[in-house]
Amino acid sequence: MRLRKRKGAGAAEGDMTPMIDMTFQLIAFFMVLVNFTDADQNARIRLPSSELAKPADNPLESPITLQLTRKGTVLFAAEEVPIAGLKPLLLRERQVLDATPGKSAGKATIIIRADREAKTGRVQELIKACQETGFEKFALRAKQQERTT
């Protein structure tokens, strides 16, 4: 018995559409899971150096990052506001935390990233404004200075 070659019977090609769909779904999934801790940092803020600075031992509960510029304004929630104009934003943040089950303003930690040229008095004003809106825990950030031997 002799086999004949069929016309149009070429190499079998697979449909790549499901594989491309799955690839895009995986990309979207991993983008959602990306750690955005660096997103809270602004390149305009140059932290002071300190030998005593060290990374936090444990992750902070409900961190709120405030960045004090050298001009004395505060960067918070993609807005640049004076310290006096920060209270309404902090009150709104407090309401959100208090409405969230298991969270409260008393448990939240305010992370202050002050520029190395910002005046100390401005940092104190910022802490006072936070305390007046009900926040009690604070963490000051500094760049870890390498020790020379």
Domain membership flag for residue 99: yes
**Domain coverage including residue 52:** 46-144
**Cβ-proximal residues to 36 (8 Å cutoff; 6+ apart), any chain:** none
**Cβ-proximal residues to 65 (8 Å cutoff; 6+ apart), any chain:** 40, 41, 76, 111, 113
Mean of the pLDDT values across residues 38-52?
A: 59
Q: What is the pLDDT of residues 122-148, one digit of tens each?
A: 889 999 999 998 888 888 777 666 655
Helix axes 120-132, 87-99, angle to 10 degrees: 40
Mean of the pLDDT values across residues 17-23?
A: 90
Domain membership flag for residue 20: no
Domain membership flag for residue 95: yes
Dist. CA 11–CA 63, nearest whole Å: 58
Domain membership flag for residue 26: no
The mean predicted confidence, pLDDT, of the chain is: 78
Structure tokens at 137: 């825990």
Count of domains forming the chain? 1
pLDDT of residue 38: 47
Domain membership flag for residue 132: yes
Domain membership flag for residue 74: yes
52, pLDDT greater than 60: no
96, pLDDT greater than 80: yes
Mean of the pLDDT values across residues 100-108?
A: 81
82, pLDDT greater than 70: yes
The CA-atom distances, in angstroms, between 130 and each of 2, 11, 17 are 90, 70, 53
Domain membership flag for residue 60: yes
Domain membership flag for residue 120: yes
